[in-house]
Amino acid sequence: MDDFEQYVSEGDKAERISCICCGHFPHTAVYEGLERCDKCGHIRAVLDWAPEKFHELYTRGYFKGGEYEDYEEEGLALRYNFMKRLADLAKRHPEGGDLWEIGCAYGFFLEAAQTHFNAAGCDIAADAVESGVAARGVKAVYGDYLKMEKGGPFDVICLWDTVEHMARPDLYLEKAFSELIPGGTLALSTGDIGSRWARVRGRHWRLIHPPTHVHYFTQHSMGQLLARLGFEEVRFSYPPFWRNVNTTLVKLAQKHRVFSLIRPLVARTPLGRINYPLNLFDLMTVYARKK
Ligand SMILES: [Zn+2]
């Protein structure tokens, strides 16, 4: 990090730093409230927030009626996604081992992961962690991973749909690197703003919503960041993502009135609970190894 040009603004404003992926400083405004690194194309939200302020976003309202219509009700669709990821990780670590999940929310992945790994995790959403521990018996703790004492070493550290929410994902991944065993796996998923669908949608791409999404990676910028931190054998894949009909209609209703009329009708029927796979090839799953 030494050669990174950084400065801290006055008051309680967050650090304004050079690109977390490549270290370049000049950025150009792109869409409202976002700026793109002129060198590697990484996009970030322009937010003058103290990092602590991000914690206030992830209350019960975020998971119920906020970004998620009802995260717990969506559990089955989420489980399908997590089973695929667990199968990938079990292939990489057939003997199992110690797994740590950063951003475990309600513990759906931990619940699946504990069948193969000694799995535990953390989240800054207190309600979600409490519910995960009570309802699913997972080993989850409330807290900010960055502020926790050095743990591990772990065979696997994963962050599912989490890095985009962080003010400084580079610092979390740097710590994760230090806590992995040699040969350990970093696993994460996030949107790909360089994907064809994201480029077609432009500023209307469904994943653009600061302040909960702060960082918008491309395959290139993610590769730069992981290489800078010392990760090797970085693999990208674009598996389909399971979704729930009710949740899809809620999102569509936010943008198109016709769906707000259809939604209550569907919600009362079993149709609303149907889960289906969708692949717009704009969600990347990334596996990297610490040599
Ligand atoms: Zn950059």
Quote the DSSP letter at residue 212: T
Q: Which pLDDT tens digit goes with each residue over 99-120?
A: 999 999 999 999 999 999 999 9
Rg for the chain, CA atoms, rounded: 19
What's the gap between Cα 131 and its chain centre? 20
- 252 CB burial (10 A radius; 0-12, 13-18, 19+): middle
Query: Residues within 5 Å of ion ligand 1 by Cβ?
Result: 19, 21-22, 24, 37, 39-40, 42
pLDDT at 12 over 50: no
SS3 26: coil
User: 43: CA distance to ligand 1 center in Å?
Assistant: 8
pLDDT, tens digit, 9 for 90 and up, residues 261-284: 888 888 878 888 888 888 999 999
pLDDT over 90 (residue 49)? no
Give me the pLDDT at residue 65, please.
58
Determine the pLDDT at residue 163.
97
SS3 163: helix
Among 56-65, 97-106, 151-160, 270-279, the minimum mean pLDDT is found in 56-65
CA–centroid distance for 53 within its chain: 18
Residue 233 CA to ligand 1 centre (angstroms): 20
The pLDDT of residue 172:
97
Q: How does pLDDT run across 164-191, given as a tens digit for each residue?
A: 999 899 999 999 999 999 999 999 999 9
Give φ, ψ of 167 to 5 degrees: -70, -40
For the record, the structure tokens of 54 come out as 């991000």
CA 40 to chain centre: 20
End-to-end CA distance of the chain: 20
- For residue 247, what pLDDT is reported? 81
pLDDT band at 250 (very low <50, low <70, confident <90, very high): confident
pLDDT in the model for residue 19 = 95
- Residue scoring higher pLDDT (180 or 253): 180
Query: What is the 229 CA–ligand 1 centroid distance (Å)?
Result: 14
Cα 40 to ligand 1 centroid, rounded to whole Å: 4
Domain ranges within the chain, ordered by starting residue: 6-242+280-289
Q: How far apart are CA 10 and CA 3, in angstroms?
A: 22
- Is the domain spanning 6-242+280-289 CATH 3.40.50.150? The answer is yes
Q: Which residue has 């990174």 as its token pair?
A: 4
- Better-predicted residue by pLDDT, 4 or 201: 201
In the chain, the largest separation of any two C-alpha atoms, in whole Å, equals: 58
The mean predicted confidence, pLDDT, of the chain is 87
What's the average model confidence in pLDDT over 14-33? Answer: 85
pLDDT at 184: 98
> 211 CA to middle of ligand 1, Å?
20
28 CA to centre of ligand 1 in angstroms: 11
179 and 100 Cβ atoms separated by less than 8 Å: yes
Closest CA relative to residue 99, chosen from 185, 226, 188, 172: 185
**Cα(37) to centroid of ligand 1, in Å?**
5
What separation in angstroms does the CA of 157 have from each of 48, 101, 143, 172, 277? 29, 6, 16, 11, 26
The residue that leads in pLDDT, 160 or 47, is: 160
243 vs 220: CA distance, rounded Å: 27
pLDDT at 290 over 70: yes
| 1 CA to centre of ligand 1 in angstroms | 14
Q: How far is the CA of 208 from the centre of ligand 1 (A)?
A: 18
Would you give the DSSP letter of residue 55? G
Question: Dihedral angle at the C-alpha atoms of 186, 187, 190, 196, nearest 10 degrees?
Answer: 100
Average pLDDT over residues 9-33: 75
**pLDDT at res. 9:** 36
Q: Check: CB of residue 39 under 8 Å from CB of residue 22.
A: yes
